[in-house]
């Protein structure tokens, strides 16, 4: 038995031929009504990512996380009223850790805003004052 791929297609006759001709006419009419869209020009490659900017962002994120954790630990100890001898020493240590973390965060924020990524952020903020 011959394969379907090797057998030539049967000629279209009768009603099928008229349907096929009508289909081709409809397709031709649609092609004139809706021409193909022009292909957009290729976009330029994005600028390379600066490793120093990435490092500044990561340092800022780590400092923010450490500050957030130290502040949460301070608030937990502040609301704790156990009759324990070293409670005030723990609270004082938590306050000192929170202040150190806050100072580290301020330094990381200053370093980030001095970097090119911080300058780009400030330029974007100037363009869109809502944010």
18 within some domain? no
21 within some domain? no
94 within some domain? yes
96 within some domain? yes
Q: What number of H helices and E strands is found in the chain?
A: 4, 0
89 within some domain? yes
What does the pLDDT read at residue 85?
78
68 within some domain? yes
Question: How does pLDDT run across 71-80, given as a tens digit for each residue?
Answer: 999 988 877 7
Query: Domain limits at 112?
Result: 51-127
State how many domains the chain has: 1
pTM score: 0.58
Question: How does pLDDT run across 65-103, given as a tens digit for each residue?
Answer: 999 999 999 988 877 777 777 888 888 999 999 999 999
**pLDDT over threshold 80, residue 14:** no
42 within some domain? no
41 within some domain? no
On the 0-12 / 13-18 / 19+ scale of CB atoms within 10 A, 108 is buried
């Amino acid at each position: 038995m011959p394969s379907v791929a090797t057998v030539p297609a049967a000629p279209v006759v009768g009603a099928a031929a008229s349907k096929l001709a009508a289909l081709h006419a409809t397709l031709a009419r649609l092609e004139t009504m809706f021409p193909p869209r022009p292909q957009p020009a290729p976009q330029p490659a994005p600028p390379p990512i600066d490793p120093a900017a990435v490092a500044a962002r990561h340092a800022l994120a780590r400092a923010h996380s450490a500050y957030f954790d130290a502040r949460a630990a301070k608030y937990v100890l502040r609301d704790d009223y156990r009759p324990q001898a070293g409670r005030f020493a723990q609270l004082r240590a938590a306050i000192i850790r929170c202040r150190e973390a806050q100072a580290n965060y301020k330094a990381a924020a200053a370093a980030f805003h001095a970097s090119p990524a911080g300058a780009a952020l400030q330029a974007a903020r100037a363009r869109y004052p809502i944010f």
